[in-house]
Amino acid sequence: TDHTLRQIAPVLMDTNRTLEVLEMSGNQIDNNGACSFGEMLGLNTAITHVNLSWNNFKSPGAKGLCEGLKHNVTLEYLNVAWNGLEECGCQQFAATLRMNKQLRELDLSSTGFGPESCLVLCEAMRHNSTLHRLHLSQNPCGSDGGRHLMVMLQDNEELRSLSLVGCSFIGKVDNGMYCDGSEEEKVEELAADDATGLGAFSPGKKKKYQFNK
């Protein structure tokens, strides 16, 4: 529960230096609990894996978590999927990637990640060379968000996997926008829903992204 997390957080800040994996999915953690957790992450130097999916925190909780991520130097995996972050909260996480140099995998599936969040993400990823796996499935990215993501893929050489299943893509990417797949383009896997998404990324082949067939 949220009360339990607020009791755990001080222990992880002050005394425990061995716990590396923390699974807290489905625990009704609200904004206060998420902020307490963010404070802990700012000081903890051992935890590498955190799962906070299927909880109840929104934008204020996201802000508290991201404040901790700005100072964290050990966390490599963070899952906040299926929380009602909406655009404001999602933008907090997207912007944090500009400064955080440790995260390798981030799951923001079904959080309300929309076109504006995609734009913030695109800018932040210009300065990030460490994130390898990003999950954005079941979000209202739309065609505008999709265009921002394609720009991101052209500029970023470190991302290995991007999940975009069920992101409500419509229309086409602007003419001439390609994702190379050569040595300059490092993405190895792009999961999407062929009916509404981007299809499958094929390494080694020049591929034009089309949102609907």
Report pLDDT digits (tens) over 63-75: 999 999 999 999 9
In total, how many domains does the chain have? 1
* Most distant pair of Cα atoms in the chain: their distance: 56
- Are the C-beta atoms of 150 and 179 separated by less than 8 Å? yes
- 168 domain-assigned: no
- 50 domain-assigned: yes
- 198 domain-assigned: no
- 178 domain-assigned: no
- What's the pTM? 0.83
- 194 domain-assigned: no
Q: CATH number, domain at 139?
A: 3.80.10.10
Rounded CA gap, 46 and 38, in Å?
14
Domain hosting 27: range is 2-160
- 179 domain-assigned: no
Rounded CA gap, 144 and 30, in Å?
31
pLDDT tens sequence across 133-188? 999 999 999 999 999 999 999 989 899 999 999 998 865 444 333 333 333 334 55
- 36 domain-assigned: yes
pLDDT tens sequence across 31-77? 999 999 999 999 999 999 999 999 999 999 999 999 999 999 999 99
- Are the C-beta atoms of 146 and 119 separated by less than 8 Å? no
- 171 domain-assigned: no
